[in-house]
Amino acid sequence: MDVIQIDDLDKPDNDGIHKTGAIYNFAAPSKIVSQPVGQWNNLEIKVIKQNYTVMINHQKVIEFIGNRQLERYIGFQNHDAKSKVSSRNIRIKER
């Protein structure tokens, strides 16, 4: 499973693989462009076969070529019972 991170707060992360926009444990975003806590971010994730593109607030932060299975699930998850995540205007488009 590939996970796109949406958390900049929990821990120090010198290599960025756990920052917002990262492909968790695989690829760090090229820059941190997320808004401060309490403000909305625009997140776009595009996956075509093994090619991943992540855009945050209309800025490209990841271009990554993976090597995992092509069939999988799409899911939303928060970290633990104390985590709060809000989403709106979610769209999934199949090509």
**35-72 tens-digit pLDDT:** 988 889 999 999 888 899 999 999 999 999 988 777 77
Task: Supply the pLDDT for residue 53.
Answer: 95
| DSSP character at residue 31 | S
Name the β-bridge partners of 45: 54
29: CB partners within 8 A, 6+ apart: 16, 19, 20, 21, 22, 54, 56, 61, 62
pLDDT the model gives residue 17:
84
How far is the C-alpha of 7 from the C-alpha of 48, rounded, in Å? Answer: 24
Are the C-beta atoms of 63 and 53 separated by less than 8 Å?
yes
Residues 2/23, Cβ–Cβ less than 8 Å:
yes
State yes or no: pLDDT of 1 exceeds 70: no
